Amino acid sequence: MGKFSKAELETAFQNYWRTGAVNEDWDGFANNFTQDAHYIEHVLGTMHGREKIRSWIKPIMEEYCELYTAYEWHTIDEEAGRAIVYMQNRRDHPSGVGTIDFPGVTILEYGGDGRWRLEEDYWAVPASRRALKAYAEACQKHDPDHKQKRTRSDWGSGPAWTRGAKTWFERAGAKR
């Protein structure tokens, strides 16, 4: 058995997922990390420390406010103290039918006390570019204001704790 139990890792992972991906509470999301955490985003850069993570994640998620995260699966590696999650970075199609996705993988290393000491993100860069282009074209054709509606109509078929509200405005803890 590893330093931390599988149950502790699973609880920390579900809290991390609900706080960030589901509730989009980026202050709360940052609190899922140790003070000295490292966040490696292979395209957008590396952050060191919880407050750097917080100051980075909030504006980036506002910039891409139409994007949400649909859970596919995760696994817990108790021996290594890690969680690995596969997801779809998703935008609802502006026509109202379907989604525009690109995949990603996140590896988390646990630091104890419900917090992660490392996050490392990988995503399909060419697919991301294609998705962004397809979304922009669909907005132009169907609904130029779609981005600001922040719809989240297809959370996938994961467990209930992986799914959120139909719009960003309806999420838990939303402030208007």
**Torsion-angle region of 113 (φ positive above 0: left; ψ -120 to 50: alpha; else: beta):** left
> Which pLDDT tens digit goes with each residue over 78-122?
999 999 999 999 999 999 999 999 999 999 999 999 999 999 999
Q: What is residue 175's predicted lDDT score, i.e. its pLDDT?
A: 63
Domain boundaries, the chain: 6-155
**Which fold, 6-155?**
Nuclear Transport Factor 2; Chain: A, (3.10.450)
Task: Give the helix ranges, DSSP H, for 18-97.
Answer: 26-30, 50-63
**pTM here?**
0.95
